[in-house]
Structure 1
């Protein structure tokens, strides 16, 4: 049975999960920042880069899909450690294959391991973040996702420095892989063993992993999993479409100069990060449902303004509202999925899988549609999904979960 943790243990646990979120963002930005150099080293064109991205994307979806089984087999601590090791090893192989061997297949294997690890980690670190939230009694999931954003900013900055001073891809990738592995082992050492995370205490025998897997899959039979999934799907589309298509929409949709694309994306990213930093106390004060509805309206209004306004200040304002509105849907969905501590792992894994598959698959689908009707008109689809997210926000209302003692008294 889970026991109460001391304040020191809670603080170390909080820092550890923040570090894991940051490491995930750092790894993704490290790869992204060296794509031009990797492309040149391998001698490939855009189609070749697309194949690398496809391999990573497919592996990421596999990682998302198998995360519940990994949790059942290894527990949250063992699962996160394994996933982070895969991310670090994959990153090193990417550098080795692209820079030293200059063999496309080796780089693709590295990206597959990298994607597999990050996909599984996405689910498991959200499971752990939701458990931390329940243990502290505060809404901290938005802050954890802000640390992921910090990781991408740090990774992009380090990538800029590495390119500027001429650090080879291999050295850059190995250095960051070592950092990620150190973060992995230090962080996991500070994550407590918990029964609800399928980590049995050392002196207790664990149930067979097949039984734990069956328990983890029960969430897929619950209607609330899918209503929460709608909330997260809409906001995942809102975030993913911006990350992949906002600069292109600015340049090719609005006819703006090329340098305007990253500038508008920066406005979106800063607004989203601010929303995540400030979001926890706001949710605690106003409640999940009203915050989700207000932010869905904000994101939809911002995206509509971005689509219909001529290029100028209004486009920047629209991007800021879009980013702010999209900032909390995913982390609040994670919090809602974890309302019942006894079923938190399975429910968070299921909800996170829906959201992340949308995050990974949504942008390519939008790109295909955009080839036929244009990027700006395609973004109206995202507006519709954001509206759906707002309409389903009532699903995030906290559950009234009875303790075992209360249930016994009620039953007499």
Structure 2
């Protein structure tokens, strides 16, 4: 069980490293291609379109291929995308090459994330306790490490092509090694009773059978749409920070590119801390109470970052913003899988809505930022956070609580 858990954590870590490889270099990418905020938003929109198409098909893709094979394929697409993004932004100075890179990256990472979530809820079920926030914390750990690498690369003047090329090799190696230990498709990975904190039984996710993945039916399930709308708000708040915090600091606060990258690191550090600290709090107080508190923090921190006239206070608000949105997405995934008979299809639906906001919202914010400035444009995100806060009760576990039964004596995985 430990090797399975560690393998899933490694996949989340690699996802964070891949994303931060170019997010931290956005100012350099924009300069290298001569793009305004609107032009950069249009470039990011190409990734969004590819990612949205990819995630819309992800339920069927992961069901047909299984999480391990899906991740082998999508990690190769992501690595190729990183190479082309770097080459287009610095080595070739070519917008078409960079655009091709963003298309490949968006296509790969969107289905990668759904496959990781499917394997993650399978592992969570087999363990019999809440661990999805910890898994997503490792995504944040990857982004923190990647932000540090990106800030160092920017400060040292390392070309974007060298930076993204090296990260592509690292990410591909991590994923190819990790998926060898996946067990989500093991027939022995069968349901565990659901706990009152949201750890879920697994049947559809572990079996990954097209017969149990009613994707069309999942789209017609009202609760999935409500949970998806909740995830939309928190995903937009997270995605907006990922894409625009560096530019909001450099253009809105007048900082250097290196400090802009460091600001992104502050945000993802807060995300990591929130996910690690939030897991035992979820076990103790439940989803609704913790998510209400987290949503309040997110709205307050975002408001401070947008309105503060002082850089120091703005950075403090940025940290609170990251802390507040940290639990929304992973808990949303666990809530989507409450219906164990159609868990993978439900995860696919909620992921599609969430990643649509995560990927589609920030480019649209770029258009608004071109008109009013990047930092003021981020204020629009607060409205979506408030909507998510109002929808928190919908994430209450949909099945009666039952004491967890962790894998232990007599389990076929004893001794692993």
User: Normalising by the residue count of structure 2, what TM-score does the alignment of the two structures yield?
Assistant: 0.80
Residue 362 of structure 2 is aligned to residue 363 of structure 1: yes
1:383-402 to 2 correspondence within 5 Å? 383-400=382-399
| CA deviations over 1:309-341 (Å, ceiling 9, x no partner) | 442654343333222111111111111112233
1:237–1:359 contact (8 Å) kept in structure 2? yes
User: 1:243: Cα distance to partner?
Assistant: 2.8
Alignment-derived partner of residue 137 in structure 2: 146
Q: For the Cα contact (< 8 Å) 2:150–2:261, is it kept in 1?
A: no
Task: Give the Cα separation in 1 of the matches to 2:262 and 2:308.
Answer: 17
Aligned residue in 1 for 2:319: 320
Q: Which position in structure 1 is the counterpart of 2:173?
A: 182
Matches of 1:37 and 1:390, distance apart in 2? 36
Q: Deviations over 1:56-83 (max 9, x none)?
A: 2221222211211202321222222221
- SS of structure 1 residue aligned to 2:118: helix
- Superposed displacement of residue 264, structure 1: 5.0
**Equivalent residue for 1:129, pick from 117, 120, 123:** 120
Structure-2 change in CA distance of 1:369 and 1:224 (3 Å): same
Greater CA drift, 281-290 or 185-194? 185-194
Aligned to 1:44: 33
Instruction: Please say if 1:58 is aligned against 2:49.
Output: yes
Of 243, 255, 258, the residue aligned with 2:255 is 258
Alignment check: 8 A CA contact 1:75 1:197 kept: no
CA distance in 1 between counterparts of 2:85 and 2:301 reads: 38
Work out whether residues 75 and 199 of structure 1, in 8 Å CA contact, stay in contact via their aligned partners in 2: no
Structure 1: tracts of 5 or more residues without a match: 1-9, 201-205, 404-412
The residue that corresponds to 2:17 in the other structure is 26
Tell me by how many angstroms 1:188 deviates.
1.2
Distance 1:96 1:317 in 2: 35
Q: Which residue does the alignment assign to 2:290?
A: 291
Q: Could you say what the CA RMSD is over the residues aligned between the two structures, in angstroms?
A: 3.2
In structure 2, C-alpha distance between the alignment counterparts of 1:45 and 1:171, rounded to whole Å: 20
TM-score, normalised relative to structure 1: 0.81
Instruction: Check whether the contact 1:72–1:216 (CA below 8 A) recurs between aligned residues.
Output: no
Change (3 A) 1:271 1:107: closer
Residue matched to 2:244 = 245
Alpha-carbon offset, residue 37 of structure 1: 6.2
User: What is the match of residue 408 of structure 1?
Assistant: none
Please, which runs of 5 or more residues in structure 2 have no aligned partner? Answer: 188-202, 403-416
Q: Which has the larger radius of gyration?
A: 1
Q: Distance in 1 between matches of 2:134 and 2:377?
A: 31
SS of the residue 2:108 aligns to: helix
CA offset at residue 116 of structure 1? 0.5
Residues 122-162 of structure 1: per-residue CA shift (max 9 Å, x gap): 22212221222222222212221221122122223334555
CA displacement at 1:347 relative to structure 2: 0.9
Mapped to 2, the partners of 1:371 and 1:173 lie a distance apart of 27
CA contact (8 A) 1:228 1:333 kept: yes
Deviates further, 269-278 or 105-114: 105-114
Deviation string for 1:280-319 (max 9, x for gaps)?
A: 1110011001001111122222333344444265434333
* 8 Å CA contact 1:228, 1:351 repeated in 2: yes
Quick one: distance in 2 between partners of 1:59 and 1:71? 17
Say if 1:133 and 1:335, in contact at 8 Å, map to a contact too. no
